[in-house]
Chain A
Amino acid sequence: MSIRVRIERRLEVSPQTQILAILLSLFLSFVVIAVIFSFLGVEPLNAYRRIFLGGFGSIYGLSESITKAIPLLLAGAGLALSFKARVYNIGAEGQILMGAVVGGGIGLFLPNLPRSLLLPLMFLGGFLGGAVWGLIPAFLKTRFRVDEVLTSLMLVYIASDLVRYLVYGPWRGPEQRGFPYSSPFSLSAQLPHLGTTRIHYPTLILAILLAVTVYIMLFYTKFGYEIRVVGENPSAGRYAGMSVERVVLFVLVLSGGLAGLAGVGEVAGIHARLGPPEGISPGYGFTAIIVAWLARLNPLLTMISAFFMGGLLVGGDAIQTALNLPSATIFVFNGVILFFIIAAEYLTNYRIKVEAVR
């Protein structure tokens, strides 16, 4: 008598299987992270309780989770679109920063425009900043067949150093006494908040509207149809007279632009000035990759996954101080979750059977 494990390909994947796969991958991530907590001398259940309470257990926690979900949603919805076309834009982090630079720059240098003009202008500029940062890998991919994974990632570091150069150099505010920050934005360059929270609601509304728009575009318009066809089978797309290049260009520019909007939201809604890149975006662009996959590349579901990951970030911050954990803990979290989600992607396409044989 022995136990045998067999792998069979599934012909069809039901929605139930997909949901089960997500829940299972999250559960397994938590199991692995629990082991890590134990090594760090922290009681895992206690840590999870604190994370949950930190992110979702109070009005303040919830409001912070929503605040962090805003950039994750903007960037994540765009990435879902890009990944759906099998274009692997992993440089949303850099696109967020470029959005912050262009949008923030407009806010810095046109401080006296009326708010109703300045804020839209900043968002527009931020979109363009992020879009250009997506356009570069798109151009290199369509023209020279350079892998977008490499170029979009490398551009993160260029954007990051550009921000650093600006805030340490030409854009440093004279009143900052040597600290790497720009001057504060004028009031008309700052986003309003919901009550006493940090939720900059115009960006939140924009993010929700855009996630819905991206969803509708992807599944109900002819251009979304082209994106899905090209993503599933580029040769069929070419055969039908679709321009694969145009799809690549479009999804990289749009996902870059949406990430750029997130950058504007951060500087105009949270910091009210430009600062070092780690301050503007503590890895939102990378966490957004998880947001997209966790939503199984469905832009509507990114609303849920962004909120969930936002809560995890807030809860992670809470335990870092409360339990005296290293600040990298949350990145370990991210990595483990992404690992299991990608593994679940495999599991939903195959069936694993464990059986006893004689």
Chain B
Amino acid sequence: MSEVPAAVLMKGITKRFAGVVANSAVDLEVKKGEIHALLGENGAGKTTLMNILYGIYRPDEGEIYINGEKAHIHSPKDAIKLGIGMVHQQFRLVQTHTVVENVILGTGNGVTFNEEEVRQKIVELAQRYSLAINPDARIWQLSAGEQQRVEILKALYRGAKILILDEPTSMLTPLEIKELLQTLRRMTEEGNTIIFITHKLDEVTAVSHRVTILRQGKVTAVLETAKTHKTELANLMVGREVLFRLEKQPLERGAAVLRVEGLEALNDKGLVAVQDVTFSVYRGEILGIAGVAGNGQRELLEVIAGLRPANKGKIFIQDREATYASIRERIGMGLSYVPGERMTALVPNMSIAENMILKSYRKSPICKGLFIDRQVMLDLAKRLIQEYEVVTPGPDKPVKLLSGGNIQRALMARELSQEVDVLVVAYPTSGLDVGAIETIWKILLSQRSLGKATLLVSDDLEEILTLSDRVAVMHNGEIMGIVEAKEENIEKIGLMMAGALKIDREQWV
């Protein structure tokens, strides 16, 4: 019996972008019916490789074979014809259209279509792969997890047998992740093949059969998941030992630098999103705010940063009231805010150097009289690029060319190079790889030892526990309690996150 040819075989794939080699002689073999994880740091070339397979980019060198036959993939259309589907990290759906309309978009050649027939087929597919979805719902009504199901249905509807998923869990809640992994297993049982781009080790071990690890555009290893473990994977991914346990000096409580009293604020829809929030952040400490995303954390931070008005309550920075201070005044008071949506704090089309002065362009030495001193600006940028190990061809290159981890490094570099007393950081490592996470964590801890007060919002409990001194848990806009950041408090924190426990204010630490 001849061997079944690989579903996907990519041989010697090389792709260069403006002087940067994204993929260098990459080989990838994905067997029929397996879940194959593509593991690597941000910027390792995972997405580029898959964009080549899906016909979005052309490789500079290399060949692709699909089911043993040489394939010429010039566009996603070719890829779809070969039975390849891709679910991008950012969903490509028309928000105001229904699920059915989105699924059929771009299929067929006719002007009209039989909607009933299409709906029937979608419902069948959804049942077969247990993808619960209302075919008549409009996209904007759906959660991130549901939107992802629509993307998967779209690919299946087009006859995909090989499905590429780019960081599929980054937008999902833990429950949705579990459901997704089940769906993927179900799909392979039906004979489909899955390529799963990720940088999360847990997911690799939980779901994949085999894993290809990319580092800096090259393959470092191809392993059977059952025969490896997380430490080995992490080492292959970053090429060095990862220090997940970071040393943290014990804290002596200093003065309160940021104080918030009885704060109330509305969300964009005009509903109360933050209610009666009271806490203090002391000199030299990190106060973590844990909670499931969407429980008022973002609104709380925006009120503190001055981007959203407070309905009630007071904010003090260094004992000066800042409740009604402008954003600029707050920056002057030593407040720095690193938002979760990084691109709202950067100008992607402007150079790294010009982005580095976004907070300091008004002051000497950057600003001399009315003019911006470009030499000082470039020197500053070069220094920060070096100090924070931002990988870029040069300070005059636009920020949009940087990878996710480098964007966050550049952003942190700028924020920490200011005279900062209070650092407000949201989701600092979301979407980053192990290596970048470690750098960012170290940066935050070094700020702590410099005596800065940090308010850290994250939905990653490990991050909160590693970095924080105390943990406040937010649920439904309220602080449910503040406890010490200790392993033995995990259960309490979990209960508070779920809204099942509320600690009396007298017992907060």
Contacts and interface: CB of A to CB of B under 8 A. Distances in A.
Interface of A: 4, 6, 8, 11-12, 220-223, 225-226, 228-229, 232-233, 235-236, 238-241, 355, 357-358
A223 B362 CA distance: 9
A236 B346 contact: yes
A225 B372 contact: yes
A232 B370 contact: no
B398 A229 contact: no
Given A11-B401, A12-B401, A240-B358, A221 B372 contact: yes
A229 B358 CA distance: 9
Given A11-B18, A238-B327, A241-B327, A222 B347 contact: no
Nearest to B358: A240
A239 B354 contact: no
Interface string B253-266: 00000000000000
Interface in B360-377: 361-362, 367, 370-372, 374
29 contacts: A6-B75, A11-B17, A11-B18, A11-B401, A220-B374, A221-B371, A221-B372, A222-B362, A222-B372, A223-B370, A228-B347, A228-B350, A228-B354, A232-B349, A233-B344, A233-B346, A236-B358, A238-B327, A239-B327, A239-B337, A239-B344, A239-B345, A239-B358, A240-B327, A240-B358, A241-B327, A241-B331, A357-B72, A357-B74
B344 A235 contact: yes
B178 interface: no
A232 B331 contact: no
B328 interface: yes
B343 interface: yes
Nearest to B397: A12
Contacts of B398: 12
Interface residues of B, number: 40
A225 B361 contact: yes
B206 interface: no
Given A229-B347, A239-B358, 17 more contacts: A6-B74, A8-B57, A12-B18, A12-B398, A226-B361, A228-B347, A229-B350, A229-B358, A232-B348, A233-B344, A238-B307, A239-B345, A240-B359, A241-B329, A241-B331, A357-B72, A358-B72
B326 interface: yes
B435 interface: no
Nearest to B359: A240
B326 A222 contact: no
Contacts of B307: 238-239
CB-based closest 10 A-B pairs: A241-B328, A241-B327, A235-B344, A233-B347, A232-B347, A240-B358, A221-B370, A236-B347, A232-B349, A239-B345
B164 to A, nearest CB: 19
B180 to A, nearest CB: 29
B339 interface: yes
A358 B78 CA distance: 12
A241 B74 contact: no
Contacts of A6: 74-75
Interface in B30-56: none
Contacts of A223: 370
Nearest to B77: A4
Interface in B428-486: none
